[in-house]
Amino acid sequence: MTSKLSERMLRVDQAGEFGATRIYAGQLAVMGNRAPGSGEIAGMAMQEAAHREEFDAMIVARGVRPTLLQPVWSAAGFALGAATALLGPEAAMACTAAVETEIERHYTQQLEDLGDEDPELAARIEKFRDDEREHHHAAIAGGAERAPAYALLSGVIRLGCRLAIRISERI
């Protein structure tokens, strides 16, 4: 039996992992696969796809309604990825660093809220949280902080992520 809490978490987490795959798809569409950093991005994209698949399966198995905003996140994620890639490889990495900062915080908060409830969900969240942390490190190592207007870019993206999280829990 899936509690309201787990249901809300699964909805937003599936939406987030879906959004992540769309961000990387947008970046790779602009960068192609020979640009600096694109190998790294393709690797992270594969992990996001795996995260998404696991949440997709859980949503189906538990009969949780996915977010109604899937088409919005699809377009917004792709646009964010494409726009940051157009600014350059460092801006693409800054996007990942900003997104993963918020996602890591979000997953950590969820683990706290879940406590001993729903170990199946908690185990996944914990595993993915560790992957997102690695993505964050990779993005910083990839020059995220050297992106033009890094502080502004990062702040705007982080704010957008927080809004998207709040909205996807409910809608």
136 binds Fe ion (CB under 5 A): no
Closest CA to 111 of 85, 133, 93, 92: 133
Q: Which two tokens stand for residue 160?
A: 């957008």
CA 16 – CA 146 distance, rounded (Å)? 26
What are the helix and strand counts (H, E) for the chain?
Answer: 6, 0
Candidates 31-39, 129-137, 146-154, 158-166 — which segment interacts with Fe ion by CB under 5 A? 129-137
104 binds Fe ion (CB under 5 A): no
Shortest Å distance, C-beta 1 to Fe ion: 26
CA 125 – CA 127 distance, rounded (Å)? 6
118 binds Fe ion (CB under 5 A): no
Which residue from 51, 106, 124, 129 is in contact with Fe ion, where contact means CB under 5 A?
51
124 binds Fe ion (CB under 5 A): no
Shortest Å distance, C-beta 45 to Fe ion: 9
Amino acid making up residue 135: H
At residue 112's C-alpha, the angle toward residues 121 and 17, to 5°, is 45
Which residue from 132, 142, 161, 164 is in contact with Fe ion, where contact means CB under 5 A?
132
Q: Which two tokens stand for residue 21?
A: 């795959």
Q: Which is nearer to Fe ion, 103 or 147 (CB)?
A: 103
Tell me which residues touch Fe ion (CB under 5 A).
17, 20, 48, 51, 132, 135
